[in-house]
Amino acid sequence: MRNLQRLGKPQKLAENEVKWTEDFKESGKNRPSSSQYGHRDVKEHLGKISFQKCFYSEVKFAQITEAQVDHYIEVAEDPEKAFEWENLYLSCKDSNQGKTPNIVLSNASCLCPFIDSDTEINQHLDFEDEIIFGLTVKGRNTIQKYNLDKPIFNTLRTNELKKFNKLIYEIALENRVLDDNLKNILKSFANPDKPFSLMFRKKLMKHNLL
């Protein structure tokens, strides 16, 4: 998870939010249509916010169609927020499916990418190689709520670590001086557009490279 800045509401949502909300409440259904709140225009706007990544896990989407749109506050808890822009978050299926509801584990007890700064997130989450763990109760709650310790995430984080470690090995093998150019290449793994950038940010900070 990294700090994110919300962009303006997508046109499709601006044009239809009120009607979609009224129709949903009148329908008596438990959930609104995902073709509406998960419209491609909505997904693409959310993707711009997070560099095509899951807001929670930082899994990078090859195509925006892979992403799901999550309700930060569940529709069952507040139907009025079914199409509210600030309540729509971009998620991968492994974070979204099985997410602990707000009434069971409150959003306020977990990290939020739009509220918590990178510095604050660093204080709550850490990694041992590909394994994520919480440094605080809030960090542990966040991992639990968004399933950040699922085996699939460990596998994906391992794959990215292999790329990083391969570069480190090549630098050591060639006895290359760790000059500014090489440092910048290593630092690029922590850029917010890269998958699992928090993991690499923490790794680089431990070695005084950030």
Sequence-ordered strand ranges (E) for 82-141: 88-91, 125-128, 131-134
The whole-angstrom separation of Cα 51 and Cα 147 is 21
Alpha carbons 162 and 72: distance in angstroms, whole number: 33
List Cα–Cα distances, 41 to 38, 64, 135, in angstroms.
Answer: 8, 10, 37
Measure CA 97 to chain center: 14
Q: What is the mean pLDDT of residues 44-56?
A: 97
In this structure, the number of other CB atoms found within 10 A of the CB of residue 108 comes to 10
With a cut of 90, say whether residue 17 has pLDDT above it.
yes
pLDDT of the residue at 57: 98
Least confident of 35-49, 104-118, 172-186: 172-186
Asked if residues 23 and 29 have their Cβ atoms less than 8 Å apart, the reply is no
pLDDT, position 124: 98
For residue 119, list its beta bridge partners.
none
Query: Region 111-126: what's the mean pLDDT?
Result: 97
The pLDDT tens digits of the residues spanning 140-192 come to 999 999 999 999 999 999 999 999 999 888 888 778 877 888 889 999 999 99
pTM: 0.91
